[in-house]
Chains A and B, each alone.
Chain A
Amino acid sequence: MEKKDIPQDTSPLKNMTREVYYVKNSDGKYETGLSAGWVVKNEALENAWEDINEQVRAAKQAVLTGEKSPIYYYFVLQLMDYNVLSGYTGFWKFSIKKHMTSKGFKKLSDQKIEIYAKVFNITVDELKNFNH
C-alpha cells in the first residue's frame, strides 16, 4: 500500500485516535502514516454490532416470556461469555446457567443478586424488576 492510498473514512475511532499504517513512500521505502478509518472495516464492525443487537432483542424477548432470567439479558447485553461472568462473580458456570432460568433466578439469595448487580453495574432493583 502506498501512502496516498491510506483510507480516511470516518469511523467509530474519530474522537479517540487515528491509526498507524505502514505504507510505501514515493521512494518505495516504508514509513508510517495515519488513517482516520476504513469503510471496509467499519462495515465489518457495524455488521458485528447489528448481530449483537439482534441477540440482545432476542434475549429481552426470552426474559419477557419467562424463558430466561434478567441475568441472561445483562450477560448478552454486556457481551459476556461464561468465563467472563464466572470470573467477575466467582460462581461456577453451571450455577450461572441455573441463575439464568427464571426458576433458578427466583431462588437466588439477596446476597447473590447483589453480586450480579454489582458486576453488571446496575442496581438490585433494576435486576429484580426487569423493565426494558
Chain B
Amino acid sequence: MAENYQHIQTAHCENGVVTGLLKHQGLDFMTEPLAFGLGSGLFYIHIPFLKVSGGPAISFRTVPGAIFKRTCKALQIEVVRKKFSNELLAQQFLDEKIAQGIPVGCQVGVFHLSYFPKEYRFHFNAHNIIVYGKENDTYNISDPVMETVTTLTIEELKRVRFAQGVLAPKGHLYYPKSIENFDKKLIQRGIVKGIKRTVNDMLHIPAPIVGISGIRFTANKVKKLRAKLGIKQGGLFLGQIVRMQEEIGTGGGGFRFLYAAFLEEAAEYLQDDRLIPISEQITKAGDLWRSSAVQMAGIYKGRITEQKDFDDAANMLYEIAEVEKTAFKQLEKLKFNS
C-alpha cells in the first residue's frame, strides 16, 4: 500500500490523476492547471448527428486519456498502461502494484460508482480514480473530484473497471514509472509545445465543428432550435450544453478558467508577461460561457421562451467565439525563446 499517498482534490478527474501520480513520484511542482496546459486539455467540438441523452454531443475538453499521455511525454516520463480481457488478471495486476507501494490510475464507469449521487450516475466510462491501497476486501480510493479519500469493495471496483458501453474501460490502468534526474527545462519546453497544440486545436483544425468554428456551429443550431425542435426539446438541447460546460470537473466555464490559470502559471515559468492579458481574455471567455448558461437556463426552465431569447443565447455564443478567436490569435503570434 502506498501509505504516504497524498490525496489532492482537483476540478477535473484526469488532471487530478496526472497531478497526484506525478507529485507522488517527486514532481512537487505539478499543479492541475499545469497538467491541463501541458496536456492541451482545452478544446471544443460539437459532433453533429450524435445525440447524448437527447441533446447535442459537445465537449469542452480533449479526448479522454490525452492529457495524461501528453503531459508525461512532455516531461519525458515513462508510462505503464494496461488493459485486460480478464477481470481476475486485472485485479491481480492491480493488487501486485499496490503491494509494491505504487498508486495506480484506473479508468472507471460512473453508472455503478457507489459513492456518486444517483443524479450523476450515467453510463459515462471515462472517469479516472487513483487506487492507492487495499485492506482486506476494500480498496483505498483517491477520487480527484472528491474532497476526501473514499473506498470501494473488490466487487464494486471490479464492476466499474469493467463497465460496458462507449469507451468501455476494459480494466484500463496506468501509472508513471519512477522518475530520476528530472530536467526542469522540460517544463518550459512542454508549456510552449502545449500552447501551440491548443492554438492549433482551436484555430486551425479544418472541420466546421471543432474549435472556434465549432462554437459558431453550435450558435447556428441554437438560433434555429425553437423553430426546429420546439420550446421543450430545444430547452433540453440547451440544458445539455450547460451540463457539458459546467459538469463536475470543468472548474467552471467549460474549462476556460482552468486554462486561464494555466496561462498565468506559464507566464511565471517562461518569465513572459505577454501571457497575462491573454489569460485575462480567456477568463472573460469563461465568464461569458457562464452568462450564456444563465440565459439558457431561463429558456429550459420556461421563464423566457421567445425566438428573441434563443437569438440572445446564440449571440452570446458568437461573442464567445470572437473573444476566444482573438485570444488564440494573439497567443499564436507570440514567439517564445526556448
Instruction: State whether A16 and B115 are in contact (beta carbons under 8 Å apart), knowing that A22-B33, A22-B252 are contacts in the complex.
Output: yes
The answer to whether A45 touches B243, judged by C-beta atoms less than 8 angstroms apart, is yes
Chain A facing B: main interface SS: mixed
Instruction: State whether A87 and B147 are in contact (beta carbons under 8 Å apart), knowing that A12-B120, A22-B260, A81-B123 are contacts in the complex.
Output: no
Tell me the chain A residues, 77-104 only, with Cβ under 8 Å from chain B. Answer: 78-81, 83-84, 86-88
Interface string of B1-42 (1 = CB under 8 A from A): 000000001110000000000000000000011000000000
Count of chain B residues with a beta carbon within 8 Å of a chain A beta carbon: 53
Tell me the chain B residues, 201-259 only, with Cβ under 8 Å from chain A. Answer: 235-236, 238-240, 242-243, 246, 248-249, 251-253, 257-258
The answer to whether A16 touches B117, judged by C-beta atoms less than 8 angstroms apart, is yes
Of the listed stretches B160-168, B314-322, B328-336, name the one at the interface; the rest are far from the partner chain: B160-168
Count of chain A residues with a beta carbon within 8 Å of a chain B beta carbon: 39
Q: Of A15, A41, A81, which one neighbours B246 at CB under 8 angstroms?
A: A41
Instruction: State whether A30 and B145 are in contact (beta carbons under 8 Å apart), knowing that A20-B10, A38-B246 are contacts in the complex.
Output: no
Closest to A23 in B: B257
Cβ of A58 within 8 Å of any chain B Cβ, yes or no, is no
Query: A23 CB to closest chain B CB, in angstroms?
Result: 7
**Which residue of A1, A29, A40, A80 has the most chain B CB atoms within 10 A of its CB atom?**
A40
Give me 5 A-to-B residue pairs in the complex whose CB atoms sit less than 8 angstroms apart, sorted by A's number: A1-B287, A12-B118, A17-B9, A45-B120, A83-B164
Query: Which B positions have Cβ atoms within 8 angstroms of A?
Result: 9-11, 32-33, 53-55, 111, 115-120, 122-123, 145-148, 164-166, 168, 235-236, 238-240, 242-243, 246, 248-249, 251-253, 257-258, 260-261, 264, 283, 286-287, 290, 293-294, 296-297, 300-301
- 10 smallest A-B Cβ distances: which pairs? A87-B164, A84-B165, A30-B261, A12-B119, A44-B239, A22-B257, A20-B11, A22-B251, A44-B242, A40-B297
